[in-house]
Structure 1
């Protein structure tokens, strides 16, 4: 009969020295591992292969929610503030077509 201290020390030394601890066939970890190994791998499962995140829909949804005031996009707010402050100082980049060679 072993004490709990002895079992814990044996388990700890097995972890340190990469020795496998003997598991009974009926233990929960063995049952869980066999269940995981019998599941179809992700590489062969069609729902994982054909999944593509809905980027376009999410972008449109966040823009609409931002217009309504229900979503706060701090990065976009920052970019707009930079453009606004540059325009206030007169440092706005000229629009395409307006520029150096043309005089009005």
Structure 2
């Protein structure tokens, strides 16, 4: 094996072509380059961001996180300022003597089911 390594280090045309061929086969830079050019080579050899599964296939678990936040809010460990504000407005509305708003009002008037 050391015989072939020594032959590849010789400055002959054959040795240069074999080195280029082996570099091409193993995905290395064909000709020797400086450090500035190697930075470009390493940037282009990395996987693109739009092909990275850690970035592309990331979908947070919205349903589970939402239910967790509701439970934490019930225990007093999480503060949802928007819901606090809505509850405060509803409390003040009741204190003024108005009816509480219904949470679910049903379908709109024109969209009732028709029997055929």
Normalized against structure 1, the TM-score is what?
0.52
Q: Paired residue for 2:100, among 76, 92, 96?
A: 92
For the aligned residue pairs, the C-alpha RMSD in angstroms reads 2.9
Work out which of the residue numbers 39, 42, 51 in structure 2 matches 1:35: 42
Counterparts of 1:70 and 1:43 in 2: how far apart (Å)?
37
Structure 1 equivalent of residue 60 of structure 2: 53
Does the 8 Å CA contact 2:93/2:100 hold for their aligned counterparts? yes
5+ residue gaps in structure 1?
Answer: 1-24, 98-104
TM-score of the aligned structures, taking structure 2 as reference length: 0.48
Larger-Rg structure:
2
Deviating beyond 6 angstroms after TM superposition, the runs of 4 or more aligned structure 1 residues are none
Q: How far apart, in 2, do the equivalents of 1:48 and 1:76 lie?
A: 32
- CA shift, 1:73, in A, is 1.2
Q: 1:35 Cα deviation (Å)?
A: 3.0
* 1:83 aligns to 2:107 (yes or no): no
Return 5+ residue gaps in structure 2 as ranges.
1-33, 107-116
Q: How many residues align?
A: 72
